[in-house]
Amino acid sequence: MKARLTSFIFLISYFIFSPAGALAQLQTNAGVQYLQCMPKDMSGDFNDLSNTYFLADSLDSFNSQRGVGTLQWKRYRLSPRQAFNLNGYWPVRMQMLDFPDAAYDNDPSLRVMIEFLTPRTARIRMETSPAVPRNEDLQDVMFCEAFKNKLGTVPNLDGGLKTTADDEKIVYQTKYGSIEIQRYPFRLVLKDAQGKVLTQTRHIIDNDSTQVKLLPFNFIKRGSDNSRSVNPVFLLSPGERIYGCGESFTSLNKVGQKVMLSVTDPQGPETDGMYKPVPFYFSNRGYGIFMHTSAPVTADFGASYIGAQRLFMADEQIDLFVFFGSPKEILNEYTDITGKSPMLPLWSFGTWMSRITYFSQEEGLDIARQLRAHKIPSDVIHFDTGWFGTDWQCDYEFAKDRFPDPVGMLKQLANDGFHTCLWQLPYFTPKNRFFSEIVRNNLHIRNAAGGMPVEDAILDFSNPETVSWYQSKIEGLMKQGVSTIKCDFGEAAPYNGFYHSGKGGLYEHNLYPLRYNKALWEVVEKNHPGEGIIWARSAWAGSQRYALHWGGDAATNNIGMLGDLRGGLSFGLSGFSFWSHDMGGFVTASPEDIYRRWLPFGFLSSHTRAHGAPPTEPWLISESFTKAFRQSAEMKYRLMPYVYAQAKDCSERGLPMVRALLVEFPEDPGAWLVEDEYMFGSQMLVAPLLESGTGRMVYLPSQGKWIDYQTGKVYSPGWQHIEAGPIPCVILVRDGSIIPHAPLAQRTDQIQWDKVELKKYKAEAKRCTGLLYKPGDTKLQKLD
């Protein structure tokens, strides 16, 4: 008994304290994941011996002018194969056992479609059933309205699309690249404008004769229930690097990783789970792919086979958007489909002061007084979980005993230049006063019996009535004078839930953050026209239209800081222009050294928030820390004309403010290797101090000299050891830049735009350039 108890305690301790990867071992006998917090790994379904495998084999027919045809899929099963006393698997041609056999095809020929939407973008769709699916493009929440409006119209291909066809292949060629469809063996081949193969799909004949190392392009029909899932497989070339996939905290280059694209709460930016996965990526070879699906995807980029991209998709259809170009060009094309981040209000780029949590009206007003008294430029006060009658119990009302006059408080804060943000979440516990109303009116996600799949009532944002109910609650706060709302959580939509949309949780789970972001952003924008903004944690493809998002609950250590930086860079490589993070980390009181080094990273991000376990307020830490906080804040407020102009440029082109070097310097091979420094906009390079010290090694891209923003010292390209200035961070400016500065202001509405100074940073450059965009302007001004 004692031994069994010891084993039980060890087992529980193992699962509680082991990293997220260990949780993957928690399964039921059926192989179903046991814990909701785990991301879905779809790859295991594609080596299940009970499934039937359909391998893409050959084109049956194809109308090259219409871009429509049929593709034959050969039926296989996986059979164990013994060789030298070791068993592997072998795909074996299969004769179906389905009954009645005359009703089904052993090797079905199913529809395939291809169309070029722009000279850089093509859409490829394949079906796995003779039943033609409903076209839901116009209702698809991942697509932006501008893209939907173009559906069904003749695309502008700027120079034309050349189509050729012969007995071996069909080729679609634009001036930026081509897609070749080989008839047999069936392959999709992507080439650049010079004819170089960028990638191509795999066929069964690509395997050698002695061992099957991976299956080619295929879909499965499960032996358990006949459901289908798809598995596009593409070539991964030597030296190839893959980027994107959302706010991923692992290495920016996804080659060698198995990336699980399913929304989860990873409890911070230190594991492979993601609050904000995005089914989009691009390669250093000049192409990108958007997997248009809301179902979970496991993207195996050379993890199980070093020469293949294996996209294990839960979806039963293949719908891929393929892009040609540089990172900037691909991001622009992708965000033309899923939408670009809107330009955000000027005040949002200022300092947000918060902690978990301010509990009263007087506490909030005192924080505002202290910020002004200590001359720390700032624009937003955030009340986290404690503004309700019961902490964490969201009922959309200020606690009457602790907030005796919320409207008066909001007016007083506004008069002193502060906007106000409030926390909330979409989950309602049985003790919440709205619980019964939500259940009675079926505003929640339901289970198979029509009840609740979990103990809480989770709002179903696929239901228009739920959205109206929710927005009415938020609107009441807006009318009191609240400026914006924190869009917390959103990762727990049940996979086994039933949704008003008619879809199950397999397809709605990942859409939940997008629907949640949308519902909240739209009511804020409605009540504050032109100033729509939220502060969200979870996201999916398309959520960039409902900015902005922050990096979650970082640990208060160097790893938490590194995870946030990687996450922000990866997020920016996935179509999101604006992003923030909790300076100093979130989970415990931040050590002063960590917080001090995190400050410039926070202030040189698009949006800046101090938040986490108290104290976050600098005057409660030390006098020297208060000075350091003030220095970083003053730097950003002086740089606000630069920040505002760069933000406008990002919002127009789908570019990130916190920008990996490879976006700005794609021709520099070294820039593709760097993941612990970034461009802040297009002209400033930032290298945070990720460990204690006064300097660090920094890679400087090869296009010209670099000028230290703090000291004026000039550096040559390449690896350099650089000492930080008074602000503990390496901050450099590209030679030939014009960086607009404003006189220091304590709040953004007091910036003197008529006194903006155009500072030139010049070492060897023959001319200087920059951007300027002021409140009220209709377009960016190019400085020269």
Residues tagged active-site: 488, 491, 553
Helices (H), 586-639: 592-603, 623-638
- Could you tell me which of 417, 291, 370 has the C-alpha nearest to residue 616? 370
Euclidean distance between CA atoms 71 and 232, whole angstroms: 14
CB atoms within 10 A of CB 2: 6
For the chain, first and last CA: distance in Å? Answer: 81
CB 578 within 8 A of CB 556: no
Q: Are strands 419-424 and 380-383 parallel, antiparallel or unpaired?
A: parallel
CA distances from 748 to 342, 351, 634 (A): 19, 10, 11
Identify whether the C-beta of residue 523 lies closer than 8 Å to the C-beta of residue 478.
Answer: yes
What is the SS3 assignment for 117?
strand
Q: Taking Cα atoms as reference points, which of 616, 680, 201, 601 lies closest to residue 381?
A: 616
Distance CA 444, CA 731 (A): 49
In this structure, the number of other CB atoms found within 10 A of the CB of residue 115 comes to: 15
Residue type, 387: W
Tell me the two tokens of residue 637: 């407020």
Q: Which residues neighbour 440 within 8 Å (Cβ) at sequence distance 6 or greater?
A: none
Please give the Cα distance from 82 to 39 (Å, whole number): 33
Report H helices in 528-639: 558-572, 592-603, 623-638
For 708-729, letters b (16+ CB in 10 Å) and e give bbeeeeebebeebebebbebbb
* Structure token pair of residue 121: 């973008």
Phi–psi pair at 649, nearest 5 degrees? -60, -45
Structure tokens at 30: 């059926």
What's the chain's length in residues? 784
Helices and strands per DSSP (H, E), number in the chain: 15, 42
Sign of CA dihedral 206, 211, 214, 217: positive
Alpha-carbon dihedral sign for residues 310, 315, 319, 325: negative
> What is the token pair recorded at 426?
């979409």
Q: Locate 657 and state its tokens.
A: 């403010």
Q: Which two tokens stand for residue 252?
A: 């920016």
Query: Which of 697, 698, 699 minimizes the C-alpha distance to 670?
Result: 699
CA distance 117 to 452: 43
If you search the block for the tokens 């302007």, which residue do you land on? 777
Residue 596's Cβ-side half-sphere holds a number of Cα atoms within 13 Å equal to 20
Distance CA(189)–CA(135), nearest Å, equals: 26
Angstrom distances, CA of residue 264 to CA of 5, 133, 378:
32, 29, 32
Determine the Cα angle at 684 with ends 681 and 689, to 5°. Answer: 110
The rounded distance, in Å, linking the Cα atoms of 416 and 372 is 9
